[in-house]
Structure 1
Amino acid sequence: MTAAEILLDELRQARTTRGMNQDDFGRFISYSGTHVSAVETGTRAPTHEYMTAVDNALKTGGLYGRLLERLSALDLAPLWLREWITYEEQATALRWYEPAFVPGLLQTEAYARATLQAGGLLTAEQIAHRVRSRLDRQGILDRDDPPHLVAVLDVAVLRRTVDDDRVMMREQLDHLAAAAELPNVRIHVVPDDTGLYPGLQGGFILASMPDGSTLGHIDNQMRSQTVSGGPEIATLRATWETILRAALPRRLSLDMIKEAAKAWT
């Protein structure tokens, strides 16, 4: 079920549980029954004005308006990523290891677009949607109760050019350095002299949830996987601790990021 289908299903339930047909509900929210039918069948998109009318009539405190915004953002993301985005929004802490790219929550718009354009596998529309979804996800770091983010990057991330765009790389690393100064963000870099270490097998994320549980996210070429089982989480935790021990301290990592930024000038 898509995010849009979830929203339309909730709207239908809001109407039917009150014993109203579409004409009754239309009069209730000051729209025509035809308009209500078109929204519920998906032939007419629900607008913010329509959701505001529903919220005002049902006295929900803006519930359906918020659902429209959040589920619309989910529909911008690839289907296989939507489940994780929901968990990411709820997490109190995120531990993110990346051997190849800057983590999505810390990417600039230009860098995000360039990584998605690489290889020419996506259409322009798909790229635009995914860039917007990625930037929307970054909003969790600016909210009143942001999660604590610890990101560990392999040093190659700071040196890997995207489309040979030196200006873009300088802006991305400046942005990364600025993010590293935020009170809820820590960034560490694994240096060259570490040699081979377990993290090089692939990136992953550990999310601490409000109920005390931990979820893991593993990505690959075809799909992403969310794991919650004890053995899988234990393995990811052990790998994380090994990676973190190999990484430079926070201040030395920030210095390395700033030096790498200068090299792209």
Structure 2
Amino acid sequence: MVDGALSTLEFLGAELRRARRERGLNQEDLAQRITYSSSLVGMVEIGHRTPSQDFIARADAALEAGGLFERLLTLVRADAAPPWLREWISVEAEATLIRWFEPSLIPGLLQTEAYARAVLRGGGMLREAEVEQRITSRLARQAILARETPPEFVAVVDEGVLRRCVGEPAVMAEQFAHLLRVTEWSHVDLHVAPAEAGMHAGLAGAFILARTPEGGEVAHLDNPLRAHVTDRPEDVDSLQRRWESLRGEALPRRASRDLIRELAKSWT
């Protein structure tokens, strides 16, 4: 929120609350009509939870809103990504190959909703409405891996990523199950840089390389304030060398899956 302005998610919630009250309904009444919990209705109304398409469609029908809330949800999704990330999202959406290294967290395109929520809530740096909007953006970005012609996606994570508890153990158990599921896809490879590798080229920080349809390469580097996107040849060449060094340290695909499967047991 800036100077008291509502986010699009908070505006949707406020309009839902206004329409509900105009119908003379309390939250429990609306919840019963759309067969969702009253607590979820309340969370949506204060902008602390992004509603699903089904929730919105039912609310539109129950409140005879003429599609208002479906239109507002479209705006929420369009506005979900932080402005500084939107350039990269457009690159990512068109990429034919994505190579991603993460030393601290599961790569965003492979995160479950619960894991992403725990990451974004960590440290208390974001308001709940901002957390929800970023989750909406992150989950929408993941759709590229499930489309008819997905990019080839290759990720390397440090073993510490798999041992770090983010959220509750149940969140980690779900995340590991998701990793094992998506890495069965032929276009998704996940490799682990094992602890015994010691110091390696990736410890300087996370980075992503995306190959464009024209064959060019674009790089993404993140920091706590904003994303840095570059296609400068010297930057890309440096990161490509770093990537090749990391791949040399990482376990092969099958050995990585075996390690992920073994570590999954520690979260159940």
TM-score range, shorter chain: 0.7 to 0.9
Of residues 170, 173, 198, the one that matches 1:170 is 173
Partner of 1:234: 237
Q: Secondary structure at the match of 1:231?
A: helix
Partner of 1:256: 259
Instruction: Flag as ranges the 4+ runs of structure 1 deviating above 2 A.
Output: 68-74
- After TM superposition, the structure 1 = structure 2 runs for residues 112-127 of structure 1, keeping only pairs within 5 Å, are 112-127=116-131
Partner of 1:209: 212
C-alpha offsets along residues 124-158 of structure 1, whole Å, 9 cap, x if unaligned? Answer: 10001000110010000111110000010000010
Inter-partner Cα distance in structure 2 for 1:82 and 1:260: 34
Residues 219 and 140 of structure 1, relative CA distance in 2, 3 Å threshold: same
Q: Which has the larger radius of gyration?
A: 1
Q: Secondary structure at the match of 1:206?
A: strand
Partner of 1:144: 148
**One-letter identity of the residue aligned with 2:131:** I
C-alpha offsets along residues 218-263 of structure 1, whole Å, 9 cap, x if unaligned? Answer: 0011111001011000000000000010000000000001111111
- Could you tell me the TM-score, scaled by structure 1's length? 0.72
**One-letter identity of the residue aligned with 1:155:** E
Of residues 68, 92, 95, the one that matches 1:91 is 95
Inter-partner Cα distance in structure 2 for 1:85 and 1:69: 19
Residues 71 and 88 of structure 1, relative CA distance in 2, 3 Å threshold: farther
Inter-partner Cα distance in structure 2 for 1:233 and 1:102: 23
1:97, 1:153 within 8 Å by CA — same for their partners in 2?
A: yes
Inter-partner Cα distance in structure 2 for 1:127 and 1:69: 16
Inter-partner Cα distance in structure 2 for 1:256 and 1:174: 13
> Post-superposition shift, 1:71?
7.7
Q: Secondary structure at the match of 2:144?
A: helix
- Alpha carbon RMSD of aligned pairs, Å? 1.6
Gaps of 5+ in 2: 1-7, 9-71
- Could you tell me the TM-score, scaled by structure 2's length? 0.72
